[in-house]
Amino acid sequence: MRNNLLIKLNFASFVIFVSGCILLIYHQNTNPKSTVIYPSRVFHTDDLQDLKEGRYYDYNSMNVTPTTKSPNKTPLKIILLWNAMTPELSNNPFNTFSCPMTSCLFTADMSLIHQSDVVLLRIDVLDDMPLNRQPHQRFVFLHVESPVATKLSIMDNPRFRYNYFNWTMTYRRDSDIFLRDYYGSVVNRSKVVNESAERDKEMAALIKGKTKMVTWFVSHCSTEIRREEYARQLGQHVPVDIFGNCSNECPYDCYEMLRTEYKFYLAFENSWCPDYVTEKFTRPLIHDAVPIVLGGADYSHFAPPGSYINARDFKSPKELADFLILLNNTETLYASYFDWKKDFRVMKSDMSGWCDLCQLAHNESLPIKVYPDIKRWWMLDEAGCEYNSTKYF
Ligand SMILES: *[C@@H]1O[C@H](CO)[C@@H](O)[C@H](O)[C@H]1NC(C)=O
Ligand SMILES: *[C@@H]1O[C@H](CO)[C@@H](O)[C@H](O)[C@H]1NC(C)=O
Ligand SMILES: *[C@@H]1O[C@H](CO)[C@@H](O)[C@H](O)[C@H]1NC(C)=O
Ligand SMILES: *[C@@H]1O[C@H](CO)[C@@H](O)[C@H](O)[C@H]1NC(C)=O
Ligand SMILES: *[C@@H]1O[C@H](CO)[C@@H](O)[C@H](O)[C@H]1NC(C)=O
Ligand SMILES: *[C@@H]1O[C@H](CO)[C@@H](O)[C@H](O)[C@H]1NC(C)=O
Ligand SMILES: *[C@@H]1O[C@H](CO)[C@@H](O)[C@H](O)[C@H]1NC(C)=O
């Protein structure tokens, strides 16, 4: 149940985040005094008129230093979230994540389709898509799930499959906008942290205090790729404690238990696709356990060496188990799996993709771009997902 809850929370956080991206334009057609609500400010009819007539200003910068700085007149780019959920008033993500370029207005007001510079189409919630478009507009294929979980109804509709999307915004590194979002990222620390002797001691004590081997919080008990079979076989050689929908609930807070008791965590993805590395990976890194990864990504692009163990580097679950036992018996070797923390840190959510989007929207020298066949790009050629894991165990 607990893990079930986690998954829901993750989805909820995504929903909240997307809502967070929506700087709500609150447009009441019935009311002549319609207002635009923008971060914590209320704009009146004149401002809305500005928007509609193409005078967009970076009210954002005006907000930051309203008295000391004259208004920054960088034109705003309008980024429309087509078919988003009900827009809710929330914070400006650009303030929250301090993007270098903030002159973008996110909106879910579909009546601004003609004023929009960028139209984001979230593939997993889409029922219909705009057909009328202007040549300067960028239609963006926005997706956070893997191809394995992509609805075919849209990918197979020739109207959208061919020559429709200008940009892609996904977790794949070869997207126009690389988006990790709530999957989180491991990033280089911009400055060396002062590792106090005290903190070193705390970490050493934590590591020493871990007495259990492997745990896994999981809600989808059986997957096409059969990761559960790998876990089962691993469990024949080394203790693997599974919590969540498929077995027991955690006896107390899952993350606290992970941090204090367990040495390893199974970060097994349910789709094995290039670059598909989800919060299952960042979770143990945040909670001081060593991830054992199993997925389709080249993990060296996502975290420094020595921060995780890749199950696919071993011939069999038995060989992996032998290695885990070796680490269990060699304290210094196990402890070395935390050395990366001196130079890197984990961002639980990585919103830099949204900053990049705003920057791209402002770049007038980018060429025209069209994906001739989005299904090919997403699901057929480079996608290269694996569907049969038999050879790994
Ligand atoms: C991290 O960044 C610093 C400077 O910003 C650089 O000198 C260092 O090589 C980087 N480390 C890694 C592992 O990328
Ligand atoms: C680092 O921490 C030590 C002890 O905690 C302290 O004496 C020292 O001044 C710190 N150095 C910096 C650059 O903060
Ligand atoms: C929870 O487990 C049951 C079977 O044990 C399964 O049918 C259901 O889909 C699972 N729920 C989730 C969210 O995975
Ligand atoms: C791991 O090490 C602890 C003591 O350090 C030991 O009690 C335990 O049996 C070991 N577990 C395995 C699976 O080897
Ligand atoms: C705009 O895009 C071009 C081509 O990719 C790039 O060379 C340039 O640095 C970008 N300009 C800015 C301001 O980001
Ligand atoms: C976007 O794609 C459309 C449809 O193929 C195309 O006509 C248009 O030129 C593209 N726009 C840009 C800015 O790339
Ligand atoms: C997966 O591959 C194995 C051979 O490596 C084969 O025997 C098995 O039938 C395949 N399974 C599926 C579902 O295709």
Return the best residue to mutate from 2, 8, 245, 280 for the ligand 3 pocket (most ligand atoms within 8 A of CB): 245
pLDDT of residue 117: 93
Q: Whose CA is nearest to atom 11 of ligand 7?
A: 388
Ligand 6 atom with the smallest distance to the CA of 136 is 13
* pLDDT higher than 50, residue 356: yes
22 pLDDT band (50/70/90 cuts)? very low
Q: Is the CB of 194 under 6 A from ligand 2?
A: yes
Give pLDDT, residue 269.
Answer: 96
Predicted confidence (pLDDT) per residue in 277-294, tens digit: 999 999 999 999 999 999
Long-range contacts of 375-378 (CB under 8 A, 24+ apart): 375/155, 375/156, 375/161, 377/168, 378/141, 378/143, 378/147, 378/150, 378/155, 378/168, 378/170
**What is the CA(337)–ligand 6 centre distance, in A?**
47
Backbone angles phi, psi at 173, to 5 degrees: -70, -20
Question: Does an H or E element contain 355, and which?
Answer: helix 352-362
Tens of pLDDT, residue by residue over 211-243, are 999 999 999 999 999 999 999 999 999 999 999
Average pLDDT of span 23-48: 34
The 8-class DSSP code of residue 74 comes to P
pLDDT at 276 over 70: yes
Report the DSSP pairing between strands 118-122 and 77-82: parallel
Residue 128's CB is within 10 A of a number of other CB atoms, namely 8
Does residue 32 surpass a pLDDT of 90?
A: no
**pLDDT value at 335 more than 70:** yes
Query: What is the C-alpha to C-alpha distance for residues 67 and 62, in angstroms, rounded to an integer?
Result: 9
Calculate the average pLDDT of the chain. Answer: 80
**Look-up: residue for tokens 């076989």?**
233
Q: How far is the CA of 225 from the centre of ligand 7 (A)?
A: 11
Name the percent of the chain lying above pLDDT 90: 53
What would the mean pLDDT of 137-150 be, rounded to a whole number?
Answer: 92
Write the residue with the smallest CA distance to atom 6 of ligand 6: 135
Single pTM value for the model:
0.81
**Per-residue model confidence (pLDDT) at position 196:** 72
- Residue 121 neighbours by CB distance under 10 Å: 22
- pLDDT tens digits, residue range 167-186? 999 999 999 999 998 899 99
Strands 77-82 and 104-107: parallel
> Quick count: other Cβ atoms within 10 Å of Cβ 226?
15
Residue type, 55: R
Tokens encoding 207: 């590591």
Helices and strands, number each (H, E), in the chain: 14, 15
Q: Which amino acid is at 344?
A: F
The DSSP result for 327-387, as a single string, is HHH-HHHHHGGGGGGGTEEEESSB-HHHHHHHHHHH-TTPPP---S-HHIIIIITTT--B-
pLDDT bracket for residue 131 (50, 70, 90): confident
Q: What is the mean pLDDT of residues 43-52?
A: 45
Which three-class secondary structure state does DSSP give residue 71? coil
* Cα–Cα distance, 289 to 207 (Å, whole number): 9
Closest ligand to C-alpha of residue 360 is: 5
For residues 311 and 325, what is the distance between their CA atoms, to the nearest angstrom? 14
For a pLDDT cut of 70, what percent of the chain falls above it? 76
Q: For position 63, what pLDDT does the model report?
A: 37
Q: How far is the CA of 366 from the centre of ligand 4 (A)?
A: 57
200 pLDDT exceeds 70?
A: yes
